[in-house]
A and B are shown apart, each in its own frame.
Chain A
Amino acid sequence: MAALGTLDSANLNGGQKLAVKFFTVAIALFGAQVLFGMLAGIQYLNPDFLFGVLDFSVNRMLHINAMVVWLLFGFIGAVYWLLEDESGTPVAGLGLGNLMFWVFTLAVVVVVLVYLLVQVGPGELKSIWLINEGREYIEAPRWADIGIVVCVLIFFYNVAATFMKGRFTGIGGVLVLDLVALAGLYLAGMWYTPNISMDQHWWWWVIHLWVEATWEVLVGCLLAYGLVKTMGVRRRIVETWLYIEVALLFGSGILGLGHHYFWIGTPEYWLAIGGFFSALEPIPLVAMVVHAVFDAGHHKLKSSNNPALAWMIAQAFGNFFGAGVWGFMHTLPQINLYTHGTQWTASHGHLAFFGAYATIVIAFVYLAVQKWRGNVWMSGDMAGGWKWKWAIFLLHAGMIGMTMALLVTGYEQSQVERAIGGSSWIAYFEAQAHVWFVQGMNWRMVSGWMFATGFVLLAWDLMTIGKRETRPARSVEVPAAAMA
């Protein structure tokens, strides 16, 4: 056994060894997301920048695809991380899981290379299969789509078979059912129809129901495990709350899908359904504030891993503001008519994705690093502890800055382009040239640099945190009897 503070795979179980591979690729893809986002941001200010070399359309696609895939890698890694711990048995079919990791990673590399090398050309059946499927956010070609489904099925097999072989905890049960939905919903985005309304109808099943249903539940499972590990919260409590939250999320989230059906050619009753659930969707988020205060009163925020806990707290706030406040501001159809697809949506998307999902993956990577270094001390008074604090500050300040800047540009677009200009082609460009838009994009860029700096610091911290520590981690877990 290596000394405390030294990275050593012997500190990890089989599932965790696989998890750190997923985490490593996830963080690399996070970097790619930041890089392509920065390039796209520069192109808003200087449209000639890299024109014909790396077009805005490609940068934007890579920016968003990298985000989807790094979060997916992070989630898969997080599940492998907790799998043996939760089930009490080694991962079933771990070799297959390892093979899946390499195939998945190789497929991502090939898809990105094709995006970069074949940027323009005719759109035909061959290009759907080999180059780009053309559906926003899930542009991966059909071969990669099928590959993703196979990988997710292997992942599902690993998870379900392991829990069946070992013990099925509450977290495990919810997780397995959620993965069925996660894999099944992806299929909705794979079939072809020439009717754009029908295409959009099914496409939203992947985008909305992944994000506002299955991903939220997955994050609920990860948070439940994380709270047991970092704060010693009793298992019975977190599992009961997991069930409650799943009911609330599915209750409001599934038909909240309706707010994406307002303007895509679906029947008018979706205005009523979407409006109803959109108005009520934030209530569970607001109600959860009560639970957060209640639990904070209980545990006095003593934790075995301060960076992980800080990112979990950031998740609660980010989810509340990004999804709750920013979502509700423009979700009713009476106003969404003007804001849909403007930078307002981008503002909401940036804060919600970062707040709800990026935060929890980063928290798990900190949990992983701690154990990888021999379960080293990561509570207060940590050697080199300034780096994680500055990283979390810069990433949040950058993200809030980008969100506010995009809010201003979206507000201007909704007025100048939509309400005054009537959504015409000319009005679109008038809005893009407006001083509010340009200033907003400049401030977005400044904030983007801040965010990028935060990312570099985060990556540096993840590679070095705990290296100079010789103390074992603070123990917070409650006795096994109390965990039942």
Chain B
Amino acid sequence: MIEPVELANFFTVFFSAASVILFGAGYALLFAWSRVSGRPRLMPLAYATYLGLAVSVLVLGNAANLFNNGYWTFIVGLMLVGYLVAPHAVWHLCVGTHAEGDEAIKVSQQR
């Protein structure tokens, strides 16, 4: 079911796992900031940060031997999709729940 991490890969696993979450937060932050402040130029930076997340996920998958098993490979794929779409989904929820009288939302809805 699992193949334990090699000793030489310990640091890579810890570092890449932390990077997944930090890049994930960075992507979410830039994505939301770009939309709230009406600065579309920030959006490529947000996706560049997501790219960092994707690289981190792949490095983690490799170092933690996740690609040696179909189930864990599926989880890697799910993480890539989940972290990508979650900020979009939450943004839509924010717009829906804060719909009354906010200029920032109106701007974002017009885009």
Residue of A272, A280, A324, A411 near B82 (CB, 8 A) is A280
By beta carbon, the residue of chain B nearest A332 is: B64
Interface positions, chain A 252-293, Cβ under 8 Å from B, are 268, 271-272, 275-276, 279-280, 282-291, 293
> B94 contacts A289, CB within 8 Å?
no
> B21 contacts A286, CB within 8 Å?
yes
Known A-B contacts A271-B1, A289-B29; A334 and B66 likewise in contact (beta carbons under 8 Å)? yes
> B75 contacts A289, CB within 8 Å?
no
A335 at the B interface (CB under 8 A) = yes
> B7 contacts A415, CB within 8 Å?
yes
> B5 contacts A335, CB within 8 Å?
yes
Interface centre among B1, B87, B98 (most CB of A within 10 A): B98
Interface positions, chain A 85-130, Cβ under 8 Å from B, are none
Majority SS of interface residues in chain B?
helix
> B79 contacts A286, CB within 8 Å?
no
> B29 contacts A293, CB within 8 Å?
yes
Known A-B contacts A287-B87, A289-B28, A334-B65; A298 and B75 likewise in contact (beta carbons under 8 Å)? no
Q: Which residues of A contact B10 (CB under 8 A)?
A: 335, 338, 411, 414-415, 419
Q: Which residues of B contact A419 (CB under 8 A)?
A: 7, 10
By beta carbon, the residue of chain A nearest B100 is: A234
CB distance from A391 to the nearest CB of B (A): 26
> B14 contacts A329, CB within 8 Å?
yes
Known A-B contacts A280-B78, A335-B10, A414-B10; A320 and B5 likewise in contact (beta carbons under 8 Å)? no
> A328 contacts B21, CB within 8 Å?
yes
Q: What mask results when residues 57 to 79 of chain B are scored 1 for a CB within 8 Å of chain A, else 0?
A: 00000001110000110010011
A244 at the B interface (CB under 8 A) = yes
> A338 contacts B25, CB within 8 Å?
no
CB distance from A172 to the nearest CB of B (A): 19
Residue of A237, A290, A328 near B17 (CB, 8 A) is A328
Interface centre among A241, A291, A294, A337 (most CB of B within 10 A): A294
> B104 contacts A297, CB within 8 Å?
yes
Q: How large is the interface on B (under 10, 10 to 19, 20 to 34, 35 or more residues)?
A: 35 or more
A333 at the B interface (CB under 8 A) = yes
Q: Which residues of B contact A411 (CB under 8 A)?
A: 10, 14
By beta carbon, the residue of chain A nearest B99 is: A237
Interface positions, chain A 324-372, Cβ under 8 Å from B, are 324-325, 328-335, 337-338
> B102 contacts A298, CB within 8 Å?
yes
Q: Which residues of A contact B75 (CB under 8 A)?
A: 275-276, 279
> B2 contacts A333, CB within 8 Å?
yes
> B94 contacts A272, CB within 8 Å?
no
Q: Which residues of A contact B94 (CB under 8 A)?
A: 290-291, 294
CB distance from B83 to the nearest CB of A (A): 6
CB distance from B76 to the nearest CB of A (A): 8
Residue of A288, A298, A335 near B98 (CB, 8 A) is A298
CA distance A329 to B56 in the complex (A): 12
CA distance A337 to B93 in the complex (A): 38
B90 at the A interface (CB under 8 A) = yes
Q: Which residues of A contact B65 (CB under 8 A)?
A: 334
B18 at the A interface (CB under 8 A) = yes
Known A-B contacts A283-B82, A325-B18, A325-B21; A289 and B1 likewise in contact (beta carbons under 8 Å)? no
6 residue pairs from A and B, CB less than 8 Å apart: A279-B78, A328-B20, A335-B10, A335-B64, A337-B5, A338-B10
| The 6 residue pairs across chains A and B that have the minimum distance between CB atoms | A293-B32, A289-B28, A287-B86, A286-B24, A297-B36, A290-B32
